Amino acid sequence: MVDVSQHDMVPEHSVLDEGDLDEVLSEYDIKRTDLPKIKRTDPALPDDAEVGDVIEIVRDSRTTDTATVYRLVVE
Q: For residue 33, which amino acid is it? A: T
Task: Dump pLDDT digits (tens) for 46-57.
Answer: 889 999 999 999
Q: Which of 1-10, 41-50, 57-66 has the lowest mean pLDDT?
A: 1-10
Alpha carbon distance 50, 73 (integer Å): 7
Task: Dump pLDDT digits (tens) for 16-37.
Answer: 999 999 999 999 999 999 999 9
Q: What CATH number does residue 16 fall under?
A: 3.90.940.20
**pLDDT, position 53:** 95
The number of folded domains in the chain is 1
Quickly state the pLDDT bin for 5 (edges 50, 70, 90).
Answer: low
Closest-CA residue to 72 (of 37, 24, 20, 41): 37
Query: In terms of residue numbers, what domain contains 10?
Result: 4-74
